[in-house]
Amino acid sequence: MPHALDTHRATWRSPAKVNLCLRVVGRRADGYHLLDSIFVPLDLHDDVAIAVAGARPGRATSVRVEADDPEVPCDESNLAARAARDLLAACGLGADVHVRLTKRIPAGAGLGGGSGNAATVLAGLRELLGLDVTPAELAAVGLRLGADVPFFLQGRAARVRGIGEDVCPLADWPDLALVVAIPPVHVSTAWVFRAFREAVALDARPVEAPEPAALAAGAAPTPELLVNDLERVVLPAFPMVRALKERLRAAGATAAVMSGSGSAVVGVAPNPAAAAEIAATLGREDPALRVHAVTAPVG
């Protein structure tokens, strides 16, 4: 059993994200979709506590994950567990790792909770153990876990392209008052991209997407620019998500768009006070909704 002095522990915040724009611009020969998207981190976050003990070369790794949300798997399928194993293996180390997740970001909402947790574990282990891993090497480990993980490793508003490997932080991105509304439905990312592939013919050569380019250049987030191509398959299959977009606009949001593969919908508010009022209105209308008035970006 490792001595207590060999144990390193700390807790970090793991933010959610929204996609203010998501265009599917092509598909690689291996089937992976090519995206062009604007990601922004939110001040809605999970807490990730990591304890690591007995790290040394040549030993086996044991990872234990705990979460306060029963919907979050705590077995080897959890991205945080995979992140710990993959990074230690890449560094030729083994250790006993305990990850405790205090969840506020719901699963299956398109807010990147699992990917953010994985990125936090990668960065946290590097810090706790003083690992000699470059940002590019850490991002490569992260990309093998999921397309959103490299974004969370740098944690700033960014234009993200390709399969998630091309992350370009956006300088001087303005603070936005947002309302994130999460309906009581789970949308499978795998199903969304499978349905999109069946519905839309895509070329291997990426097309140009004007909306992310305009937002990255500083254009205001208008309804014309807040476009998510995945709505094409999600909204007909999940009328609650379609209705939530309309309700956000009716309550005062200047624009609304589904985040990622859903089910969360994000609305842009004129200011933080308006965001709080829109959130309160939706919450009164439908107590089953989870609604957050948030600021983006955070970091």
Residue 1 predicted with pLDDT over 70:
no
Dist CA 127 CA 131 (whole Å): 7
pLDDT in tens, 80-130: 999 999 999 999 999 999 999 999 998 878 899 999 999 999 999 999 999
Q: Where are the beta strands (DSSP E) in 149-208?
A: 158-162, 166-169, 176-182
Q: Which of 18, 21, 19 is nearest to 227 (CA)?
A: 21
CA distance 68 to 97: 18
User: Which of 24, 18, 22 shows the shortest CA–CA distance to 228?
Assistant: 22
Reported as a single tens digit per residue, the pLDDT across 218-238 is 999 999 999 999 999 999 999
**DSSP-based three-state secondary structure for 108:** coil
Other C-beta atoms closer than 10 Å to the C-beta of 43 total 16
Architecture in CATH for domain 4-169:
2-Layer Sandwich (3.30)
* Vertex 247: Cα angle to 231 and 274 (nearest 5): 115
Residue 242 is predicted with a pLDDT of 96
Q: What is the mean pLDDT of the chain?
A: 93
**Cβ atoms of residues 256 and 226 within 8 Å:** yes
Instruction: Give phi and psi for 147, each to the nearest 5.
Output: -65, -25
User: How many CA atoms, within 13 angstroms, populate the side-chain half-sphere of residue 198?
Assistant: 6
Question: Which residue is listed with tokens 């990622």?
Answer: 260
**What pLDDT, in 10s, does the model give residues 35-55?**
999 999 998 999 999 999 999
Angle at 77 between CA 72 and CA 81, to 5 degrees: 85
Q: Tell me the pLDDT tens digit for each residue of 274-290.
A: 999 999 999 999 999 99
- Tell me if 264 sits within 8 A of 258, measured CB to CB: yes
Given this chain, do its domains 4-169 and 176-296 carry the same CATH topology? no
* Domain 176-296 falls under CATH 3.30.70.890: yes
Residue for token pair 């969370």: 152
Domain range summary for the chain, segments of one domain joined by +: 4-169, 176-296
Tell me how far apart the alpha carbons of residues 110 and 112 are, in angstroms, rounded to a whole number: 6
Strand partners for 45: 15
Strands 33-57 and 93-102: antiparallel
Sorting pLDDT into bands at 50, 70 and 90, what band is 2?
A: very low
Q: Which two tokens stand for residue 131?
A: 């690992």
Residue with tokens 């506590």: 49
Q: Residue 4: what pLDDT?
A: 44
Instruction: Convert the pLDDT of each residue in 26-37 to its tens digit.
Output: 998 888 899 999
* pLDDT average, residue stretch 242-251: 96
pTM, full prediction: 0.92
pLDDT of 197-225, one tens digit each? 999 888 767 788 999 999 999 999 999 99
Confidence class of residue 8 from pLDDT cuts 50, 70 and 90?
A: very high
| Residues tagged active-site | 17, 148
Distances (CA, A) of 201 to 29, 100, 194: 13, 42, 12
CA-CA distances (angstroms) from residue 94 to 57, 78, 122?
6, 18, 14
Q: How many helices (H) and strands (E) does the chain have?
A: 9, 10
Q: pLDDT at position 5, please?
A: 46
What are the DSSP calls for 191-202, one per residue? Answer: HHHHHHHHH---
